[in-house]
Amino acid sequence: MNSSVIGFPRVGKLRELKFASEKYFKQEISTEELEQVAKGLREMHWNLQQAAGISHIPSNDFSYYDNVLDLTVLLNALPENYRQLGLSERDTYFAAARGYQGVAGDAKALAMKKWFNTNYHYLVPELSDNTEIKLVGDKPFVEYEEAKAIGVLTKPVLIGGFTFLKLAKYKGSKTINDFADQVADAYIAILDRFNEQGVEWVQFDEPSLVTDLTQEDVALFTALYEKVLAHKGNVKVLLQTYFGDIRDSYEEVVGLDFDGIGLDFIEGKQTVELLERYGFPADKTLFAGVLNGKNIWKSDYKKVITLVNGLKKHSNDIVISTSCSLLHVPYTLENETSLPEEVSQYFAFAKERLQEIKELTELIGTSGSGYEEQAAYLANQKVFSADRVYEDKHVQASVASLTERDFVRNVPRQKRRAIQKEKLQLGLLPTTTIGSFPQTREVKQNRSKYRKGAISKAEYDENIKGFIKECIDLQEELGLDVLVHGESERNDMVEFFGENLAGYVFTEKAWVQSYGTRCVKPPIIFGDIRRENPITVFYSEYAQSLSDKPVKGMLTGPVTILNWSFPREDISLREMAFQIGLAIREEVLDLEEAGIKIIQIDEAALKEKLPIRREEWASEYLDWAIPAFRLCHSGVRPETQVHTHMCYSEFEEIVKDIDNMDADVISFEASRSKLTIIDALKANQFETEVGPGVYDIHSPRVPSVEEMVAVLKNALTKIDEENLWINPDCGLKTRGIKETRESLANLVAAAQIIKDAVSV
């Protein structure tokens, strides 16, 4: 049995590429030194995969920043303004990735977008009318030779032309079809080069095939590949799909002259059904994505073997594969020294996944002749048959006994509003912030000292109280209406809650690339989630004691906590969301009990796991995600005002669902998207009070009073003054103190001008 890996993480076992790149950006190392690090990593990754006996080892899956950007460069599609800087090839690339400001000129970075349903972000190609797509680079060819030189024959991997065209932004009058021929020609040129090199297999990734496609899309795909495949020569072409099934194009795809088709059996809900309905061509290799490339749990060998054996009736040429690139999982479990064996035995990160592939190819190779007695199989099944630790019957029962009533506040929104207005006495157009205040060096040091055991919990908390006091004083001085405690006790809005919930486990070095040099370390939901102790009450209560103005209690919502963690695979996302929802609910009720009048439950990442296919939005996601949020706050008294916050304002299409969260107030990022969302709010008769961010906190720039007045005036043309809040567009933790003070002073001044204008 042969095996294939779609892609391997490239940042390195200990994020070597990140650190080398950052040094390079600071000009502490040379281009050659950076390239040496990169070369070393590529070699190591190829060797690892070869040692695991992988038959189809990827090359060109490496990237200094992003594979889509690599392709943009390879296809001569990098916008003119980056080239005009006259920088070296490497620096032009980084200028497009990160933006450039210096002696050579000024260029903003390309836009960044989430890569399908992952937390990886790619750089969006921009095609203008004078873009001429053609093969200009040689990265894939060079990397193939590089691997060959160390004795590894690889399968070069490129994002396919269709996905490239679908992801691109069209800046001029030309559209997708105008570029299709050029793209086809470029891929033909790529295949020519591979032919010259004697490459056996090439992999074209076409994840866009798992999205909702129109007939035109399918026609475009078909035309593109008819053309390209007519020139494939001796190179075998693998069409690789992932993140779902290809229900809209399966029939067309199997009719094309591909030599192999890679299908996702993990996330592709209908993949098996498609095979059953339409069959699989006998002259092609089926690359069966049966090992999860996105999650960190060991594969259940019994399930995988059964699945693969079941596929044998459709194809007698099967290669087992990861379901997507391993880019989305951490590098290795070997780095984790503090996870107990009873926990770590369940996990397989990228390197361990290779070992699984090795064992599975051997076991499936002997299928029918007693694989069930093999040591590797028995060891694997032992993990799955053992009782799972961290089980919590009480929590399970609580979720099971939830009824409709647990998801609704008993006083409807309009009535609550009157009660809250009366109670809070905020007046029109209240000003507030999103929660965090600048994380100064002192704030970070306090946490790291405590972590290292250099200070006691009491000292740590004393320091936090100091930060809270400073934060409250500053807000009083600025004249904000609704205050926050500043979040100096948290490094991260998810990890902080995870650390305070039973059922979570944490890794030390399990980093996953989010974009470029930025990596995240998602906590792992290991068992049933339960709140053991109050989490934020101490800080919020203290903060409130310092002011007569309301200080918001500040929590992260269940959907965001879930979406930024590695979830369990043995229970549903819905079940996990409800467990976390119950924990947050307890915290909400404790905050209320402690006298907190306004509670904000952030759902920054609510949209993140919205299914790729629209028909699944409700049934697979929103039908539990929105209730999970409501579960958190349905138990509060009508006078307690519930806020939420969302980071990306691109939620036009789910405005109704957002309203159904039944919060009293929502704040969101809007300044960069020019407040377009406001039209959607109006069109949908949005009921929740709103605080569209009046300035962009992602930039150190201090917004002027006038520009914020203008934003507010614009907002008031669409939003009733009774419903409008005034706030920045996100938390201030990444900003400096000075710019924060100035920006907020201007915000309050702008608010005053508007308030005066409105009240006359």
Give the DSSP H/E element, type plus range, for residue 23. helix 16-25
Are 600 and 641 in contact, with CB atoms under 8 Å apart? no
Site track 475-514 with Zn ion (rule: CB under 5 A), x = hit = ----------------------------------------
Q: Is 434 near ligand GLN (CB under 6 A)?
A: yes
Rounded to a whole number of angstroms, the minimum distance from the CB of residue 607 to ligand GLN is 12
Please report, as a single letter, which amino acid is at residue 299. Answer: S
Residues 636-695 that bind Zn ion (CB under 5 A): 647
Are 555 and 587 in contact, with CB atoms under 8 Å apart? yes
Beta strand ranges found along 128-200 (DSSP E): 155-159, 169-170
Which listed range, 254-262, 435-443, 555-563, 728-736, lies at the site for Zn ion (CB under 5 A)?
A: 728-736
Rounded to a whole number of angstroms, the minimum distance from the CB of residue 648 to ligand GLN is 10
Is 83 assigned a ligand-binding role in the annotation?
Answer: no
Rounded to a whole number of angstroms, the minimum distance from the CB of residue 447 to ligand GLN is 15
Q: Is 647 near ligand GLN (CB under 6 A)?
A: yes
Is 487 assigned a ligand-binding role in the annotation?
Answer: yes
Residue 45 annotated in active site: no
Single out the residue of 645, 670, 689, 715 in contact with ligand GLN (rule: CB under 6 A). Answer: 645
| Alpha carbons 311 and 306: distance in angstroms, whole number | 9
SS (H, E, C) 439-483: CCHHHHHHHHHHHCCCCCHHHHHHHHHHHHHHHHHHHHHHCCCCE
Q: Is 435 near ligand GLN (CB under 6 A)?
A: yes
Rounded to a whole number of angstroms, the minimum distance from the CB of residue 34 to Zn ion is 33
DSSP class of 111 = P
Task: Give 331's contacts (C-beta < 8 A, 6+ positions apart).
Answer: 9, 11, 12, 13, 349, 350, 351, 509, 510, 511
Rounded to a whole number of angstroms, the minimum distance from the CB of residue 593 to ligand GLN is 22
Q: Is 649 near ligand GLN (CB under 6 A)?
A: no
Is 172 assigned a ligand-binding role in the annotation?
Answer: no
Interacting partner of 354 out of ligand GLN, Zn ion, none (Cβ under 5 to 8 A depending on kind): none
Task: Give 73's contacts (C-beta < 8 A, 6+ positions apart).
Answer: 93, 96, 136, 137, 139
Rounded to a whole number of angstroms, the minimum distance from the CB of residue 433 to ligand GLN is 7
Is 48 assigned a ligand-binding role in the annotation?
Answer: no
Cβ proximity to Zn ion: between 361 and 432 the closer is: 432
Single out the residue of 363, 598, 622, 730 in contact with Zn ion (rule: CB under 5 A). Answer: 730
Interacting partner of 602 out of ligand GLN, Zn ion, none (Cβ under 5 to 8 A depending on kind): ligand GLN
Residues 438-457 that bind ligand GLN (CB under 6 A): none
Cβ proximity to ligand GLN: between 78 and 647 the closer is: 647
Site track 725-744 with ligand GLN (rule: CB under 6 A), x = hit = -----xx-x-----------
Sign of CA dihedral 479, 481, 485, 487: negative
| Alpha carbons 453 and 607: distance in angstroms, whole number | 38
| Alpha carbons 62 and 42: distance in angstroms, whole number | 7
Single out the residue of 3, 4, 203, 436 in contact with ligand GLN (rule: CB under 6 A). Answer: 436
Cβ proximity to Zn ion: between 57 and 647 the closer is: 647
Is 730 assigned a ligand-binding role in the annotation?
Answer: yes
Cβ proximity to ligand GLN: between 268 and 731 the closer is: 731
Cβ proximity to ligand GLN: between 220 and 493 the closer is: 493
Are 47 and 150 in contact, with CB atoms under 8 Å apart? yes
Is 602 assigned a ligand-binding role in the annotation?
Answer: yes
Is 436 assigned a ligand-binding role in the annotation?
Answer: yes
| Alpha carbons 141 and 156: distance in angstroms, whole number | 8
Cα atoms in the Cβ-side hemisphere of radius 13 Å centred on 544: 20
Cα atoms in the Cβ-side hemisphere of radius 13 Å centred on 379: 9
Is 114 assigned a ligand-binding role in the annotation?
Answer: yes
Single out the residue of 218, 493, 551, 561 in contact with ligand GLN (rule: CB under 6 A). Answer: 493
The string of DSSP codes covering 570-638 is SS-HHHHHHHHHHHHHHHHHHHHHTT--EEEEE-TTTTTT--SSGGGIIIIIIHHHHHHHHHHHTTS-T
Q: How many residues bind ligand GLN (CB under 6 A)?
A: 13
SS (H, E, C) 250-299: HHHHHHCCCCEEEEECCCCCCHHHHHHHHCCCCCCEEEEEEECCCCCECC
Choose the catalytic residue: 121, 485, 633, 698: 698
Is 422 assigned a ligand-binding role in the annotation?
Answer: no
| Alpha carbons 536 and 543: distance in angstroms, whole number | 11
Count of Cβ atoms closer than 10 Å to residue 222 Cβ:
16
Interacting partner of 254 out of Zn ion, ligand GLN, none (Cβ under 5 to 8 A depending on kind): none
| Alpha carbons 2 and 155: distance in angstroms, whole number | 13
Is 620 assigned a ligand-binding role in the annotation?
Answer: no
Q: Is 626 near Zn ion (CB under 5 A)?
A: no
Interacting partner of 264 out of ligand GLN, Zn ion, none (Cβ under 5 to 8 A depending on kind): none
| The two structure tokens encoding residue 129 | 């009318």
Is 15 assigned a ligand-binding role in the annotation?
Answer: yes
| The two structure tokens encoding residue 147 | 């691997």
Is 277 assigned a ligand-binding role in the annotation?
Answer: no
Please, what is the angle between helix 16-25 and helix 31-51, to 10°? 170
Rounded to a whole number of angstroms, the minimum distance from the CB of residue 730 to Zn ion is 3
Please report, as a single letter, which amino acid is at residue 466. Answer: G
SS (H, E, C) 306-354: HHHHHHCCCCCCEEEEECCCHHHCCCCHHHCCCCCHHHHCCECCHHHHH
Rounded to a whole number of angstroms, the minimum distance from the CB of residue 599 to ligand GLN is 12
Site track 377-416 with ligand GLN (rule: CB under 6 A), x = hit = ----------------------------------------
Cβ proximity to ligand GLN: between 79 and 557 the closer is: 557
Please report, as a single letter, which amino acid is at residue 78. Answer: L
Q: Give, in order, the Cα–Cα distances in Å from 427 to each of 421, 430, 484, 505, 759.
A: 8, 7, 18, 45, 10
Q: Are strands 524-531 and 169-170 parallel, antiparallel or unpaired?
A: unpaired
Which listed range, 325-333, 433-441, 590-598, 714-722, lies at the site for ligand GLN (CB under 6 A)?
A: 433-441
Is 362 assigned a ligand-binding role in the annotation?
Answer: no
Among candidate residues 244, 307, 321, 348, the one with its CA nearest the CA of residue 569? 348
Is 533 assigned a ligand-binding role in the annotation?
Answer: no
Neighbour order of strands in the sheet with 689-692: 553-556, 598-602, 641-646, 665-668, 689-692
Interacting partner of 261 out of ligand GLN, Zn ion, none (Cβ under 5 to 8 A depending on kind): none
Rounded to a whole number of angstroms, the minimum distance from the CB of residue 482 to Zn ion is 17
Cβ proximity to ligand GLN: between 113 and 358 the closer is: 113
Single out the residue of 57, 443, 472, 554 in contact with ligand GLN (rule: CB under 6 A). Answer: 554
Q: How many residues bind Zn ion (CB under 5 A)?
A: 3
Residues 591-610 that bind ligand GLN (CB under 6 A): 602, 604
Site track 594-613 with Zn ion (rule: CB under 5 A), x = hit = ----------x---------
Rounded to a whole number of angstroms, the minimum distance from the CB of residue 563 to Zn ion is 14
Is 632 assigned a ligand-binding role in the annotation?
Answer: no
Residue nearest to ligand GLN (CB): 731
Interacting partner of 733 out of ligand GLN, Zn ion, none (Cβ under 5 to 8 A depending on kind): ligand GLN
Instruction: Look at the block and give the residue holding tokens 């880019």.
Output: 327
Cβ proximity to ligand GLN: between 675 and 697 the closer is: 697
Q: Which residues fall in the annotated binding site for L-homocysteine?
A: 434-436, 487, 602
The annotation places the binding site for L-methionine at: 434-436, 487, 602
Q: Which residues bind Zn ion (CB under 5 A)?
A: 604, 647, 730
Residues that bind ligand GLN (CB under 6 A): 434-436, 487, 493, 554, 602, 604, 645, 647, 730-731, 733
Catalytic residues: 698
- Tell me the binding residues: 15-18, 114, 119, 434-436, 487, 518-519, 564, 602, 608, 645, 647, 669, 730
